[in-house]
Amino acid sequence: MTRTSVGDLGALVDRARDGDPRAVARLITLVESDHEQLPELAAALAPATGTGQVIGLTGSPGVGKSTVTTELVRALRATGRRVGVLAVDPSSPFTGGAILGDRIRMQDHTTDPGVYIRSMSSRGRLGGLAAATPQAVRVLEGAGCEVILVETVGVGQAEVEIASLADTTLVLLAPGLGDAIQAAKAGILEVADIFVVNKADRAGADATYHDIQGMIGLADRAPGQWRPPVLRVVATTGSGIDELVAAIGKHRDWLGSHDQLRARHRQRAASEIEAIVLARLQRRIESVTGLPARAAAVAAGQQDPYAAADAILAELGLDP
């Protein structure tokens, strides 16, 4: 836990609300950290909760997430909306932080005061991005962002969960790379509200399109449930981006008219609370004095891990 004081949090939140990009950056750095003032910050940010539209964007490496994000930002800015982007990168042990290589293209937008772009890493944060991302969204909401894009790199379960915290989740596919079967394997089909076949001008794009339509057709859906559309996009030329913005709007309208938006916001809050509780409990488990001895006994085959878990629960003061 970081113990250095960050000074007057209220003043920092006020400056972020006025759109000061340095204050926003400082607050996001705080929510990424394990700072002891996090609860105080969370209390100051709470009133901003739910004021922005959150769009998740996920897909395998190489499908073109950053390019699609950049084009979405351009299209959303054209409608005058303030936009925030959180690019969620697992941290690299080699650089000590997120790798920003493919963020460079986004620098198109860095001189636009109506756009706030930030990469987030999970380095050193207990509970990881599942706990930090909703707070970072709240910082951007507090700073007046009307739309917040959360782009997750990777196809793992944790990233999928982060994407599913959005109001609308886009799953990106591309011909060959990160195809429909790979997406199914990674469990990312489940979270999709809208499918985007990027690089739709390349060979194999039709096959990817039809594969994903086939998988959607196979899924069980109750009557009245949202059926994810599949859109073809060539992000490098901007082709299909306006249609994507329209589809996001249509999904948002559907959420509102089916009372789904409030349900998603509550689900998101429940996940956030759970992540914080689990992070605190994980810290306690790791500090249980009996853990090293239990681990040695399990490693030696002298105790089974369930019996060891019971003992740890008892040390935590809980019934096994």
Residue 150 binds a second copy (CB under 8 A): no
Nearer to a second copy, 160 or 248 (CB): 160
Rounded to the nearest whole angstrom, what is the least distance from the CB of residue 216 to a second copy in the complex?
A: 8
Rounded to the nearest whole angstrom, what is the least distance from the CB of residue 233 to a second copy in the complex?
A: 20
Which of 29, 33, 182, 260: binder of a second copy (CB under 8 A)? Answer: 182
Which of 184, 229, 239, 260: binder of a second copy (CB under 8 A)? Answer: 184
Which of 2, 107, 225, 267: binder of a second copy (CB under 8 A)? Answer: 267
Which of 29, 33, 49, 260: binder of a second copy (CB under 8 A)? Answer: 49
Residue 25 binds a second copy (CB under 8 A): no
Residue 62 binds a second copy (CB under 8 A): yes
Residue 145 binds a second copy (CB under 8 A): no
Residue 202 binds a second copy (CB under 8 A): no
- Where in 277-316 is the site for a second copy (CB under 8 A)? 277-278, 280-282, 285-286, 291-292, 294-296, 298-309, 312-313, 316
The site map against a second copy for 93-112 (x = CB under 8 A) is: xxx--xx-xx----------
- Where in 222-261 is the site for a second copy (CB under 8 A)? none
Residue 207 binds a second copy (CB under 8 A): no
- Phi/psi zone of residue 47: left (φ > 0), alpha (ψ -120 to 50 degrees), beta? alpha
